[in-house]
Amino acid sequence: MDKLALDALARFCAEQQRRFDPEAWIGRTAIDGKGIAVVAKYLSMTSWYGHEEQLEGIAADISDLAGFQRELQAAGLDLTKLSAKLRHSIALGQRNKPVSGEAIP
């Protein structure tokens, strides 16, 4: 997966962490194919992202770890890089989040 695609995927996941929409994940398969299912499965296993049950449902077609590894390799994802970019995007979003009652500039 090239840098632009990884950046776009990290931005999508960061936005979804704040405003989760299962339909957006399903719709993303047109862009990322099975890669989005791999990302959903990965994020469902983290302790820091949230939405674990919903993500597990989205990734239900990846039923076992061996299948997950095959899909991960086929998608060409580097989960370490994705994790770092996503955590950075989430942190930026929270830093730019208005205090309750403040208008968004």
Q: Of 17 and 71, which is predicted with more confidence? A: 17
Q: For residue range 41-95, what is the model confidence (pLDDT) as tens digits?
A: 999 999 999 999 999 998 886 555 557 777 788 888 888 999 999 999 999 987 7
pLDDT at position 30, please? Answer: 74
Report the distance separating Cα 7 and Cα 5, nearest Å: 5
Question: How do the domains of the chain map onto residue ranges?
Answer: 3-91
Residues in the chain: 105
Which helix (H) or strand (E) covers residue 86, if one does?
helix 79-95
Name the pTM for this structure.
Answer: 0.65
